[in-house]
Chain A
Amino acid sequence: MATHVKTTINNEAVEFLCEPHESLSSVLRERLHLTGTKEGCTTGDCGACSVMLDDRLVCSCLVLGVETEGMSIDTVEGVAKADKLHPIQEKLLEHAALQCGICTPGIVVSAKALLEKKADPTEEEVRFWLAGNLCRCTGYDKIIRAVLDAASVLREEA
C-alpha cells in the first residue's frame, strides 16, 4: 500500500506517494525526477546519493521515503541560487575537479555540509569528511583543492 508523505524539498512543500520499501533516493529520482541525486551503489558505500535531511548529511539510499514525513530535504538541485552557482560548485569547475561528474552532486552536498560545520578545515579534515564520497576518475587531488579553495572564498564572504 502506497503511503502519502508530506515533506519540504529544497524549501518547497512536496507531497508524494511511495511504497514502504522505497528508499529516499529512489523516491527523489523515480517519483520526483530529481535525478541530481545519483545512485552508485544503493548500499551506503559511495555517497553519490548524499542529501541533507533536517540538516543532517545522509546517504538517501539508506533512508526510506516514508521516514521523511514532516522533514526537510535538501538536494543538489537546491544548492545553486537563482542562476548563481555556489562557491563550492564554482571552485569544482575552476579546478577541473570533475571528469565524468557522476560523483559531483554528492560531493557538492557533502562538502557544503562540511563547510557549514567547519569554515576552516585542514586538508586532512576534508579528506576524511569526503571519505564517504567515492570518485573513481580524479584521484581526489583537484576535489580537495577545490573544497579548500571554496572554504577560503566562503570565509571571505562571511
Chain B
Amino acid sequence: MSGQTSSEYKYIGTRSIRPDGADKVTGRANYGADFFLPGMVHGKILRSPLAHAKILSIDVSAALAMPGVLSIATSEDLPDMNAGTESAGEGEVDFYDFSCNVLAREKVLYHGQAVAAVAATSEAIARSALDKIVVDYEELTPVLDLLGAQKSDSPLLHKNQTTEGPKGKGKTPSNIAKQMMLARGNVDEGFSEADVVVEKTFISPIVHQGYIEPHACVVRTNESNQIDVWCSSQGHFMVRSFMARLLAMDVSNIKVTPLEIGGGFGGKTVIYLEPVAAILSRKAGRPVKMVMDREEVFRATGPGSSSIVKVKVGAKSDGRIVAMEADITLNAGAFKGSPMMPSMMCVFTPYTCPNMKVTGKDVVTNTPKVAAYRAPGAPQSHLAAECVVNEIAKRLNIDPIDLRLLNAVDEGSPTIYGPKFKAIGLKAALTEARSHPHYASALSDNQGRGVACGFWFNVGLQSSATINITESGKAVVITGNPDIGGSRASMALMAAESLGIPLDQIKPIIGDTESVGYNDVTGGSRTTFASGGAVIKAAENLIQDLKRRAAKLMDIDVELVQWIDGQAVAPADLDKKPLSLARLARKAGATGGPLTATATQTARGAGPSFAVNIIDVEVDKETGSVDVKRVTVLQDAGKAIHPSYVEGQMQGGAVQGIGWALNEEFVYNEKGVMENPGFLDYRIPLASDLPMIDTVIIEVPNPGHPYGVRGVGEAPICPPMAAVTSAVNDAIGCGADFQLTELPLSPVKVLDAAEKLMG
C-alpha cells in the first residue's frame, strides 16, 4: 500500500483522493435512481411469463382505464426496424433484435422479456395495472440447452436465422447464428510432433455482472420533440445513439445527462428502459421514472454467456507447446451476438505456439440476450486453455510458470488475429509471480494451488475532452465517460501532470451529451487510455495558446516561451518574470479572450494487458466446500496513473472471477424460468468469503500512450476461473487429470469428485 511515486512524474503515480470522493461517502452523489423531477410519474414493465411463445394479442384497454394510469407502451409504439447487423461502438448491433429486446414483437424469447409497459401516478398503481394487461400467448417449447439448441430437430428461436459462416450464410434455419475459424500453422502436424497431448472440455454457466445498482432512468419529452434523459450507464453518448436509432429520431433531439453509475462491468453498455420511458413520457405528457428491481435485473439484463470450450494442447517433452486447438461454443441468449470472436481471439494469445486452430459458435437459446461482461468471452475460453496448460505442466513435471515462460509471447510475437505485439508485460508478470513469496509458500493438507494467465486487448475508440480555465486560473477538465471506478481521479492526475499545476487546481467533471464532444462507451478498458489521451492533447493545445498569450504580454517571440511547472517562462537572459496560469487567466481578456482548449481523438495503440494469478484454496473433504486461502494477482498496467484504482480493478476482477468459479450460476427449471433471481440464491462473493487480494503492478509502458497507460479493467477477470479450478483439482488430488471441469465448483460437485478419487 505504500505510495510509489515515480521520479519521472510529479502527480502521476500518486494515490490522490478522488475528486468525487466526499460526495460518494456521504450519500450526496446522485445515482440512476436518485433523480426526481416535478410531475414525474412511474413506469413499470410487464414481462413475459413464458420462455418461448408467440404473442397472439395484447389487450391493454382494462389497464388503460384504471384511475392513475397515464400511458401504456407496446412494441407497436416502436418504429419498424430492419434486421441486419451494423457496427456500433465496441461491437455489432442488430437493431431489429435490439428493438425486440426492448419490447417484444411477435414472439417472446425468454422468461422476463419486456412485453408492455405502464406509466402511472404511483408505482403501486403501475404494478397493479400490469396485471390488467391481457396477453394471449401460444406457448412453444423452450430451447435451453446449448448443445441441444444446435441439433437440426431443435425448435427454432428465429425462423429466418441461418448460420453465418466464413463462406457466407447457410441455407437452412438454425439456432447457430455464426460459426468462425481462426488458424495459423498446421495443427495436425503440430500434434504429430507432440510428446504429450491433453484434450479436455470445460463448461461454464450463465452468470450475471451483478452490479449493485439496478438499471434506472428518468425521461422527459416535450412538445417540440425534444427528449431529456437522466440515467446511469456506461456511456451517455451510447444511450443517446441507441435511443435515437430505436425511436427513429435524430441524436440532436435527445440530450442525456449522466448520473453516477453503480457498477456496470459491461452490463450497462446497452439500454433497456430508456426508449420505453420515452414512449410512456410522450404519451403521458409527463416525465417518467423507471427503476428495475433486482429480480428484473437478473431475469432480463446482462448476463454473461454460458460456454462449452474444448481445448487440445500438444507439447514436446521439454515443455515447448507445438499445437493448440480450441472449439468454443458461447450462448448468445435470445438474440445472436455472444462475444464469440473475442473469446476465440484471446484463448491462446499468451502463447507463441506456431500451430493453432480455433473454431467458434454463437448459439441462441431461450435465455436473456447476453451483454458484455468484463473481457467478454475471454474468461470462458481462458478457463479451458489455462487448465489444460496446467495439466500439460503436471504431465511433463515442469513448473506451470516455467512452462508458460518458455512459451510466452513477447514484443514482436505474432497474434492469431493479425498484429504483432509491441512491448508487453506477460514475461515480466510471470517472472515476478515465479519469485513471489506466495509461490514459494508451503501448502497444508487439503490445500491446492493454481496459476493461470489471461489476456485482454483493450480498445481505444473515440474520445473528446475540453479544458476551461476559470478567471482564477483553475482548470475545469470536462470529459464524457461516466466515472465507474475512479476515472475522475485519473483524469485530474493526467491534467495536473500535463499542465504542470497542482491537483487541487483541477476540477474534473463529466459533461452531458451537449457540453462535450462525442465519446464512446466506458468499456474495453479504454477510459484512462483514450479519454485520458484526449485530456493530455487538450492540455497540450492549451499550453500552446498560453505560450502565445505569454509571448504577447512579455513582448517576446512565442518560440522563446517555455511552459515549465505551470508557468510561462522566458529565457533567463531576457529578464522577464514568469507568468503563472493564474496570471494568464486574469489577463485573458487582454490577450484574446477566455482560455479554453479542446481535443478529440480516435485513439490508436491501446496496449494489451496481461494478468497472472496465483490462487490457493482449501477443500473441506466433509462438505466439499472450497475456501479461498491466498490470492496474488499480477498485471501489466503500462503505467499506473493512480495505483490504488489500478489495484482496485485487479482485486475486483479477481474476486468476480472467483465468484464465477465457485458460486455463481443462473439456475433454470425445465420451463426456462430462472430459479435464483436474487442475491440470496445467486451468491456473489461476500467479504467473509475472501482473504486479502495481494497485487503486484507491473509497468511495461504502452508505447501508444504519452504516459504509457494500458487499460486495466478487464484482464484481471481472465485468469481467476482457471486458477481456482486448477487449485481445487490440485487440492482434491487430481494430479495431471483434472476431474472438475464444470463451473461453478459447488460443494456437491467437489465432494463427488473427491469421493470418486478416493475410490
Q: Are chains A and B native binding partners rather than an unrelated pairing?
A: yes
Cα A46 to Cα B31 with chains together (Å) = 17
User: Chain A 101-113 against B: per-residue CB contact (8 Å), 1 yes, 0 no?
Assistant: 1111100100000
The answer to whether A5 has its CB under 8 Å from any CB of chain B is no
Of B21, B36, B484, B686, the residue contacting A33 (CB under 8 A) is B36
Cα A80 to Cα B656 with chains together (Å) = 31
Q: Are A136 and B212 in contact (CB under 8 A)?
A: yes
Contacts of A34 in B (CB 8 A): 27
Cα A98 to Cα B213 with chains together (Å) = 14
Chain B residues touching A, majority SS: loop
Q: Are A131 and B686 in contact (CB under 8 A)?
A: yes
| Given contacts A43-B678, A45-B678, A100-B484, A137 and B25 within 8 Å (CB-CB) | no
The answer to whether B645 has its CB under 8 Å from any CB of chain A is yes
Which chain B residue shows the least CB distance to A128? B688
User: Chain B 378-404 against A: per-residue CB contact (8 Å), 1 yes, 0 no?
Assistant: 000000000000000000000000000
Of A35, A42, A48, A85, the residue contacting B212 (CB under 8 A) is A48
Q: Are B263 and A136 in contact (CB under 8 A)?
A: yes
The answer to whether A79 has its CB under 8 Å from any CB of chain B is yes
Which chain A residue shows the least CB distance to B690? A140
Cα A21 to Cα B264 with chains together (Å) = 31
Contacts of B33 in A (CB 8 A): 29, 35, 38-39
Which chain B residue shows the least CB distance to A88? B25
Of B27, B30, B652, B690, the residue contacting A136 (CB under 8 A) is B652
Give A3 Cβ to nearest chain B Cβ, in Å.
15
Cα A15 to Cα B685 with chains together (Å) = 39
Of A38, A79, A96, A100, the residue contacting B26 (CB under 8 A) is A79
The answer to whether A122 has its CB under 8 Å from any CB of chain B is no
The answer to whether A55 has its CB under 8 Å from any CB of chain B is no
The answer to whether B668 has its CB under 8 Å from any CB of chain A is no
Contacts of B686 in A (CB 8 A): 131-132, 134
Contacts of A134 in B (CB 8 A): 212, 679, 684, 686
Contacts of B679 in A (CB 8 A): 40-41, 43, 45-46, 134
Contacts of B294 in A (CB 8 A): 40-43, 45-46
Q: Are B211 and A136 in contact (CB under 8 A)?
A: yes
Which chain A residue shows the least CB distance to B651? A139
Q: Are B262 and A140 in contact (CB under 8 A)?
A: no
Interface size class of B (residues with CB under 8 A): 35 or more
Contacts of A41 in B (CB 8 A): 293-294, 678-679
The answer to whether A144 has its CB under 8 Å from any CB of chain B is yes
The answer to whether A92 has its CB under 8 Å from any CB of chain B is yes
Q: Are A135 and B212 in contact (CB under 8 A)?
A: yes
- From residue 8 to 29 of chain A, which have CB atoms closer than 8 A to chain B? 19, 21, 29
Contacts of A104 in B (CB 8 A): 24-25
| Given contacts A35-B30, A100-B213, A137 and B688 within 8 Å (CB-CB) | no
Q: Are B18 and A93 in contact (CB under 8 A)?
A: yes
The answer to whether A126 has its CB under 8 Å from any CB of chain B is yes
The answer to whether A72 has its CB under 8 Å from any CB of chain B is no
Cα A97 to Cα B33 with chains together (Å) = 22
Q: Are B25 and A85 in contact (CB under 8 A)?
A: yes
Listed residue (B26, B27, B692) with the most chain A CB atoms within 10 angstroms of its CB = B27
Cα A35 to Cα B26 with chains together (Å) = 10
Give A70 Cβ to nearest chain B Cβ, in Å.
24
Give A38 Cβ to nearest chain B Cβ, in Å.
7
Q: Are A136 and B684 in contact (CB under 8 A)?
A: yes
The answer to whether A142 has its CB under 8 Å from any CB of chain B is yes
Chain A interface residue count, Cβ-Cβ cutoff 8 angstroms: 58
Cα A35 to Cα B230 with chains together (Å) = 16
Of A93, A101, A138, the residue contacting B651 (CB under 8 A) is A138
Q: Are A130 and B25 in contact (CB under 8 A)?
A: no
| Given contacts A43-B294, A131-B687, A99 and B648 within 8 Å (CB-CB) | yes
Contacts of A76 in B (CB 8 A): 26-27
Contacts of B209 in A (CB 8 A): 136
Q: Are B213 and A40 in contact (CB under 8 A)?
A: yes
Give B59 Cβ to nearest chain A Cβ, in Å.
28
Q: Are B26 and A80 in contact (CB under 8 A)?
A: yes
Give B145 Cβ to nearest chain A Cβ, in Å.
29
Contacts of A40 in B (CB 8 A): 212-214, 262, 294, 679
Q: Are B644 and A96 in contact (CB under 8 A)?
A: yes
- From residue 674 to 705 of chain B, which have CB atoms closer than 8 A to chain A? 678-680, 684-688, 690, 692-693
Of B15, B34, B210, B211, the residue contacting A96 (CB under 8 A) is B15
Which chain B residue shows the least CB distance to A37? B27
Cα A128 to Cα B687 with chains together (Å) = 7
The answer to whether B248 has its CB under 8 Å from any CB of chain A is no
Q: Are B693 and A137 in contact (CB under 8 A)?
A: no
Which chain A residue shows the least CB distance to B262? A102
Q: Are A93 and B25 in contact (CB under 8 A)?
A: yes
Q: Are B263 and A102 in contact (CB under 8 A)?
A: yes
Of A46, A137, A141, A144, the residue contacting B485 (CB under 8 A) is A137
Cα A95 to Cα B16 with chains together (Å) = 10
The answer to whether A60 has its CB under 8 Å from any CB of chain B is no
Give A135 Cβ to nearest chain B Cβ, in Å.
7
The answer to whether A94 has its CB under 8 Å from any CB of chain B is yes
Contacts of A38 in B (CB 8 A): 27, 31, 33, 212-213, 262
Cα A113 to Cα B17 with chains together (Å) = 25
Residues of A within 8 A of B (CB): 19, 21, 29, 33-43, 45-46, 48, 75-77, 79-80, 85, 89, 92-96, 98-105, 108, 123, 126-128, 130-145
What are 21 pairs between A and B in contact, CB < 8 Å?
A80-B26, A85-B26, A93-B17, A96-B644, A99-B485, A100-B264, A102-B31, A103-B212, A103-B262, A126-B687, A127-B688, A127-B690, A134-B212, A135-B687, A136-B211, A136-B263, A138-B652, A139-B651, A140-B655, A142-B648, A145-B1
Closest 10 CB pairs of A and B: A36-B27, A102-B262, A96-B644, A139-B655, A139-B651, A101-B24, A99-B485, A45-B679, A35-B34, A76-B27
- Not counting A135-B212, A137-B263, a sample of 13 additional A-B residue pairs whose C-beta atoms are within 8 angstroms of each other reads A35-B31, A42-B294, A45-B680, A89-B22, A94-B17, A98-B21, A100-B212, A127-B690, A131-B687, A136-B684, A139-B655, A140-B685, A145-B1
